[in-house]
Structure 1
Amino acid sequence: MRFVEVARFTDLTEPQVAASALRASGIPVILQRDLVIQVHVNLIYAIGGPGLLVPEEDAEAARAFLNEVRTQPSTLAPLGSVEATLRLILSLALTWLTGFIVPLRPRRFERLGDGPAL
């Protein structure tokens, strides 16, 4: 079985989700360079980003799926500038105080598929 690259990405989350969706549809997937990027996140552009490899006979179906999914518009609105700035300042302060990276991302219910707790 010969594997070919069907896509490259500029972050690590999107290819992990895409690989999961392709695997769920029965297409074997290899996520290339993901461990190196997890260890050294600053190398993501130097090594060309993570890539998805699929069997040659499934390449067209995988490319069609990825093209369809990537062109759908997002329903998520960006954060307001005040909220984004406050989250950044608080994240930097907590990172400096604790010595650990503390990302403060808002919970996006549309992305998780559930609504706020009542």
Structure 2
Amino acid sequence: GFSIPYIIDTEILPQYHKAMERLEINKATDVLWSLIGRLDGYITDYEPFKLIKTNKNKTENIIWNLLYGLHNITELLSPILPSTAEIMHKHIKKTVDGEDIKFSISLLDEPLFLRK
């Protein structure tokens, strides 16, 4: 399959921005949820929590892709749920050095969304 950054850059961002430009907040939210669903599927497919035991390098790549996705969710969520996006942004830091993108994270004090 395609990489998370490729999907975000070629599908998610154009669809989201088109919907937001048209003030179609429901469609923009649907695009955001589709990204969340894809990241969830990515976790299910690759099982990084198991893979870490046998392939650390591949797991690091998977985690990087997930953080790339989460960072983008934070950006896209900002106009819809600004306070939640702000909390996420404080805990997922992105630094760019040339073409090298790195992420750092910190733990939340409490969950953003409670599971049902």
Which protein has greater RCO, CA pairs closer than 8 Å, 6+ apart? 1
Q: With structure 1 as the length reference, what TM-score do the two structures score? A: 0.25
As a proportion of its length, which structure holds more helix? 2
Task: Flag the structure with larger Rg.
Answer: 1
